Amino acid sequence: MTFDDYVQTVTQDKIVPKIVDTILGGNVVALRFLSNGKPWSGETMKFPVKYQKNSTSQGAFDGFDTFDTTKVNTRTKMSFSPKGYYQSIVLSGMEVDVNATQDQVLDLVKVEMESGMHDMLDSLGTIFYAAATGKNFLGLQDIVDDGTTTATYGGLARGTYTTLVSTETAAPGGVLTLALMGTQYDAAAVGPHKPDLGVCDETVWGLFEALNQANVSNNIQSSGYPQVTRFGVVSNREALKGDLGFDSLFFRGMPIVKAEKCTSGYLYMLNTDTIQWYGLKSHRYANINLSGDNFEGSNYKDVPKSYGFCWTGLKEPVNQYAEIGQVILLGELVGTNPRLNSVLTGVTTS
């Protein structure tokens, strides 16, 4: 029923003291990497890599044969420089004043800061799946690539340093099969090093689920069942209290999770030990906590401090009654061993 002035003139509206997030989606990769970040150090970060075998200075011998003592260089360096990303928080002084009166329901400043940080994290999630363009951070399409998208990685040409090439396979006819997944998994496995996280879009996850429908089994204990969080795999539901849980299916012991931001038709098999966010600490501003409790239905309620995030504080322009500040992120997403990761592309059916 719609009420007219007969009721409206004697009855107040009620604003519920929570904002419902109806726009931002899941963000598995960004939260996983940012939540497990490490500090950046130096002008650039250089990672020594062994790219070839010394098969020259060796061989079978007998008697007084002369040994080959040729010096062979088997190493080089990948080099990465820090980048930056910002989110502006803009507040009108008069709007803040009105909000600060006795009829305040939610604090405008806190809500705008929390909303801005969530928007920033959401955009970073998109960036981390893509290939770097302009000044953006590197993404999975740079790290898990065969050289088609990113020919030069870490300052090295993949055509020359072929051990920096990931296995990237277009699904024949767009068909996902368990055999194809097994081949892709094996391509990223070297000795004890195996993929430990599969990530795909919702459509591909549904296709994988359908392949397993007749075979999926689970013994759910009173303590719950395994799920994947941004910190890894937890063994039961109770462990998810205050955390972000993602339902998953396991392939060869590797959980596969669906991620709304994952490139359509892609199935990544990641060795997460080889992919790391390195955050650069600001000399001027303190590291910040990205958590907040003003929004319901948000994917970012319990995001801890992460290396590289800082807050400039609110600053007053000289010619406006306003306050403006920026949330800033400094650093880079680095993959140190691309060959231990793989990706299937173009998956459309099963």
Domain range annotation of the chain: 19-46+77-175+273-345
- Torsion of the alpha carbons at 294, 298, 304 and 310, rounded to the nearest 10: -70
Q: Is 49 exposed, middle or buried (0-12, 13-18, 19+ CB in 10 A)?
A: middle
What is residue 273's predicted lDDT score, i.e. its pLDDT? 95
Gap between the Cα atoms of 246 and 263, Å rounded: 18
- 287: closest CA among 269, 267, 259, 312? 312
What is residue 244's predicted lDDT score, i.e. its pLDDT? 40
What is residue 111's predicted lDDT score, i.e. its pLDDT? 82
- 328: closest CA among 94, 91, 85? 85
Q: Helices 108-129 and 28-35: crossing angle, nearest 10°?
A: 100
DSSP string for residues in 58-112: -----TTPPPP------EEEEEE--EEEEEEEEEEHHHHHHHTSTT-SS-HHHHH
Residue 331 phi/psi, 5-degree rounding, is 145, -155
What is residue 105's predicted lDDT score, i.e. its pLDDT? 76
What is residue 243's predicted lDDT score, i.e. its pLDDT? 42
Residue numbers of the chain with a pLDDT score lower than 50: 6, 22-23, 222, 239-246
Residue 29 phi/psi, 5-degree rounding, is -65, -50
Gap between the Cα atoms of 171 and 148, Å rounded: 16
Q: Output helix, strand, coil percentages for the chain, rounded to the nearest 5.
A: 25, 25, 50
- Torsion of the alpha carbons at 287, 293, 297 and 299, rounded to the nearest 10: 20
What is residue 191's predicted lDDT score, i.e. its pLDDT? 92
Biggest alpha carbon–alpha carbon distance for the chain: 112
- 302: closest CA among 230, 202, 223? 230
Write the pLDDT tens digit of every residue in 234-291: 555 554 444 444 456 889 989 998 888 999 999 999 999 999 999 999 999 988 777 6
Cα–Cα distances (Å) from 342 to 25, 92, 315, 327, in that order, read: 25, 48, 46, 33
Cβ contact 51:76 at 8 Å: yes
Residue 254 phi/psi, 5-degree rounding, is -100, 120
Q: Which amino acid is at 214?
A: A
Gap between the Cα atoms of 336 and 153, Å rounded: 10
Close Cβ partners of 79 (under 8 Å, ≥ 6 residues apart)? 44, 45, 46, 47, 154, 155
Q: What is the pTM of this model?
A: 0.85
Write the pLDDT tens digit of every residue in 48-84: 999 999 999 999 999 999 999 999 999 999 999 999 9
Gap between the Cα atoms of 120 and 308, Å rounded: 13
Close Cβ partners of 268 (under 8 Å, ≥ 6 residues apart)? 140, 144, 197, 198, 199, 200, 262, 341, 342, 343
Cβ contact 199:257 at 8 Å: yes
